[in-house]
């Protein structure tokens, strides 16, 4: 586990979480049990689904929650009560937490993290719950779009220098790997998380030598087993590729090695890659791969492939690690219930903006799979104590347009949320990152092609059980005075 994950991030909280916590204590509400849902409202890039990521970092954070003397003194200066400061000095996390496993396709409106516990604790962790999941889910989702556009060609994450801060670089590379990238340029992500660090040379290597040929020779002699040469410093077709071939002939072949590849980082890559492929093949280096980089994204990669680009792998930088075309994952953290004397009372937020009306109650989330095809049919939200019988037909309906109904049978219902903390104790073992990536690819294969497409993807249904729908609309009528 990376050392930075052990940092005390307890005070990385919106200040209102602290003022409310102090107020809850002053109002003798510290033992009130609250239920919070984290969910998101829209998929980045208008896509059909997102990818869950960041659970491991959320666990690291929750395992290290503590208020230091410096924290206490800061809050004393900010006017917090001595009773509250004593509470924080004795703070011990005791919440139950559930989360959708990393790598799972997720959809708007469904809880992807649930927290149950004393309201002060459940409120204090809001910012970091959102920060951990929002950031990495955003990057994993973008990475997966790019990987799918590459259509079986390897994608490498090259965005460290353009990431939004060093944690953005390190954890962004981790999330990109979950989304399907084969490796990263970020060395520290390899050290901390085992994501393979990849890379060869920059243009400065070529420029520092008296000639491009001399630069290539020096690199090939030092790294004969993994020689990939950057061929666009001066002229790809007139000097870069010819000089690379000359070095392959004069340095690598006599040493008994084959070249790994050449990289093109500028120009019309579709055209240049076709010409480069022909030159390499003619020289007897059919096995030499062509790598493309240069401000790529899923649309540019898809277009290059359509245009017949002879590219074997892609290095994708800032447009991946910052998800620049859709840079916000709009996860929110909302109260859905409170528990008093063992009775769970649903809570709802009403808004003139219909999309901001929350779904109340302590809930379960199921994914229904067709037994014959293995494909996902829909996700279903139920009240926590509802039973779902897979042996009986089940009627799904659109929660907004209730006349849209479908009866499903011969299905499997898989609960999506897994418990990660029980009364403050971590009870979940995070899988190794390669297993998460493999799981992610398997789960994406359960989605229909219509959900996977980039333009106008099919609206995957997240439905409510009849009982949950009834409770939501009862509360709406109660709070608005409208039946």
Q: Are 404 and 132 in contact (CB under 8 A)?
A: no
**Torsion sign across C-alpha atoms 236, 241, 246, 251:** positive
Summarised one tens digit per residue, pLDDT across range 269-318 is 999 999 999 999 999 999 999 999 989 999 999 999 999 999 999 999 99
pTM: 0.96
Q: What is the pLDDT of residue 5?
A: 46
Which CATH number belongs to the domain containing residue 43 in this structure?
3.20.140.10
Q: Are 120 and 437 in contact (CB under 8 A)?
A: no
From 383, 335, 330, 329, select the one nearest 122 (Cα to Cα): 335
For 390, the domain range is: 3-139+326-480
Question: In this structure, are 174 and 25 located in the same domain?
Answer: no
Question: In this structure, are 199 and 297 located in the same domain?
Answer: yes
DSSP H or E run through 218: helix 212-222
| Tokens 């493309």 belong to residue | 292
Burial group, residue 275, by CB count within 10 angstroms (0-12, 13-18, 19+):
middle
Q: What is the pLDDT of residue 354?
A: 87
Question: In this structure, are 193 and 89 located in the same domain?
Answer: no
Cross-strand bridge partners of residue 404: none
Question: In this structure, are 273 and 284 located in the same domain?
Answer: yes
Question: In this structure, are 115 and 50 located in the same domain?
Answer: yes
Question: Could you write out the DSSP letters of every residue in 152-169?
Answer: TSEEEE--GGGSSSHHHH
DSSP 8-state code for residue 48: S
Question: In this structure, are 147 and 135 located in the same domain?
Answer: no
Summarised one tens digit per residue, pLDDT across range 176-219 is 999 999 999 999 999 999 999 999 999 999 999 999 999 999 99
Per-residue pLDDT for the chain (483 aa), expressed as one digit of tens each? 444 446 789 999 999 999 999 999 999 999 999 999 999 999 999 999 999 999 999 999 999 999 999 999 999 999 999 999 999 999 999 999 999 999 999 999 999 999 999 999 999 999 999 999 999 999 999 999 999 999 999 999 999 999 999 999 999 999 999 999 999 999 999 999 999 999 999 999 999 999 999 999 999 999 999 999 999 999 999 999 999 999 999 999 999 999 999 999 999 999 999 999 999 999 999 999 999 998 999 999 999 999 999 999 999 999 999 999 999 999 999 999 999 988 999 999 999 888 899 999 999 999 999 999 999 999 999 999 999 999 999 999 999 999 999 999 999 999 999 999 999 999 999 999 999 999 999 999 999 999 999 999 999 999 999 999 999 999 999 999 875
Question: In this structure, are 187 and 278 located in the same domain?
Answer: yes
Q: What is the pLDDT of residue 6?
A: 66
Pairing of strands 96-99, 331-340: unpaired
- Give the domain-ending residue among 321, 346, 380: 321
For 16, the token pair is 């209102």
Which CATH number belongs to the domain containing residue 303 in this structure?
3.20.20.70
Question: In this structure, are 315 and 339 located in the same domain?
Answer: no
């Amino acid at each position: 586990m990376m050392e930075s994950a052990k940092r005390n991030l307890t005070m990385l909280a919106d200040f209102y979480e602290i003022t409310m916590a102090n107020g809850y204590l002053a109002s003798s509400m510290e033992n009130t049990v609250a239920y919070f849902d984290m969910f998101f409202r829209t998929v980045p890039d208008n896509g059909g689904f997102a990818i869950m990521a960041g659970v491991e970092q959320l666990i690291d954070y929750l395992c290290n929650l503590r208020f230091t003397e410096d924290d206490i003194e800061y809050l004393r200066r900010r006017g917090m009560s001595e009773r509250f400061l004593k509470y924080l000095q004795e703070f011990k996390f005791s919440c139950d937490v559930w989360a959708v496993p990393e790598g799972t396709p997720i959809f708007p409106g469904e809880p992807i993290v649930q927290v149950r516990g004393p309201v002060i604790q459940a409120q204090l962790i809001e910012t970091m719950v959102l920060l951990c999941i929002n950031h990495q889910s955003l990057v994993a989702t973008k990475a997966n779009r790019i990987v799918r556009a590459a259509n079986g060609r390897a994608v490498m994450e090259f965005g460290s220098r353009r990431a939004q801060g060093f944690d953005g670089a390190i954890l962004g590379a981790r999330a990109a790997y979950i989304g399907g990238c084969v490796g990263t340029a970020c060395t520290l992500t390899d050290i901390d998380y085992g994501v393979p660090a990849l890379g060869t040379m920059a243009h400065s290597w070529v420029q520092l030598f008296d000639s491009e040929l001399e630069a290539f020779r020096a690199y090939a002699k030092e790294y004969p087993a993994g020689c990939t040469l950057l061929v666009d410093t001066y002229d790809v077709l007139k000097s870069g590729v010819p000089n690379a071939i000359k070095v392959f002939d004069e340095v690598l072949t006599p040493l008994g090695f084959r070249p790994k590849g050449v990289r093109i980082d500028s120009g019309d890559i579709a055209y240049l890659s076709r010409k480069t492929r022909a030159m390499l093949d003619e020289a007897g280096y059919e096995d030499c791969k062509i790598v493309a980089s240069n401000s790529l994204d899923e649309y540019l990669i898809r277009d290059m492939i359509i245009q017949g680009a002879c590219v074997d792998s892609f290095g994708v930088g800032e447009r991946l690690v910052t998800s620049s075309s859709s840079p916000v994952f709009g996860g929110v953290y909302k109260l859905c219930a409170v528990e008093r004397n063992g009775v769970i009372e649903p809570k709802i937020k009403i808004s003139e903006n219909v999309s901001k009306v929350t779904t109340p109650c302590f809930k379960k989330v199921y994914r229904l799979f067709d037994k014959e095809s293995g494909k996902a049919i829909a996700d279903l939200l139920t009240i926590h104590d509802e039973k779902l019988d897979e042996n009986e037909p089940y009627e799904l309906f659109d929660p907004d347009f209730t006349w849209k109904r479908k009866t499903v049978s011969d299905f499997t219902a898989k609960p999506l949320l897994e418990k990660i903390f029980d009364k403050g104790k971590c009870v979940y073992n995070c899988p190794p990152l390669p297993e998460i990536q493999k799981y992610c690819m398997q789960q994406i294969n359960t989605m229909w092609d219509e959900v996977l497409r980039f333009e106008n993807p099919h609206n995957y249904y997240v439905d409510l059980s009849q009982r949950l729908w009834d409770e939501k609309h009862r509360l709406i009528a109660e709070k608005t005075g409208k039946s």
